[in-house]
Amino acid sequence: MNFNNKYINIKIEESEIPWFMIFTNEKFKELSECPNEIKNEIFKTLDIIEKEMIKYYNPEKINIASFGNYVPHVHFHIMARFKEDSYFPEPMWGKKQREGKLDLPSFDNFCKTLIKKFEK
């Protein structure tokens, strides 16, 4: 999935779970440095992805994170989490709990749905 506009771009994190990253196009180190238009676009996009993940995947929980210690560029991770994923209830960066046993609907179809939502 490729989605960009003048403020942000979305990348896919390869994982057993649905996981996206939203980056600002312009490099800001902290969210507080971003103009309001960019902040609004980030939060609007997070809201769309979260709602669509809930509707499509029915996850146990949605995780949204922004660390940026290794990549000092404003970005947010948004992930659908499931009791059966390898790390739950730990964060995806935490200690592996088990071998995940997920049977999720098509990620490609989910991405197509998202793109339609972003184009509105």
Q: Domain 3-119 classified CATH 3.30.428.10?
A: yes
Exposure class string for 84-104: b at 16+ Cβ within 10 A, else e: ebbbbeeebeeeeeeeeeeeb
**Percentage of the chain lying above the pLDDT 90 cut:** 88
- The domain ranges of the chain are 3-119
Strand-pair partners of 61: 81
Residue 1 has pLDDT above 70, yes or no: no
The pTM is what?
0.94
Identity (one letter) of the amino acid at 117? K
Per residue in 48-62, pLDDT (tens digit) is 999 999 999 999 999
Burial of 108: CB neighbours in 10 Å, binned 0-12, 13-18, 19+: exposed
pLDDT (mean) for 86-107: 95
Give the tokens for residue 53. 């993940």
List Cβ neighbours of 71 (8 Å cut-off, separation of 6 or more): none
Per residue in 107-119, pLDDT (tens digit) is 999 999 999 998 8
The predicted structure's pLDDT at residue 119: 84
Banded model confidence at residue 80, pLDDT cuts 50, 70, 90: very high
pLDDT (mean) for 91-112: 95
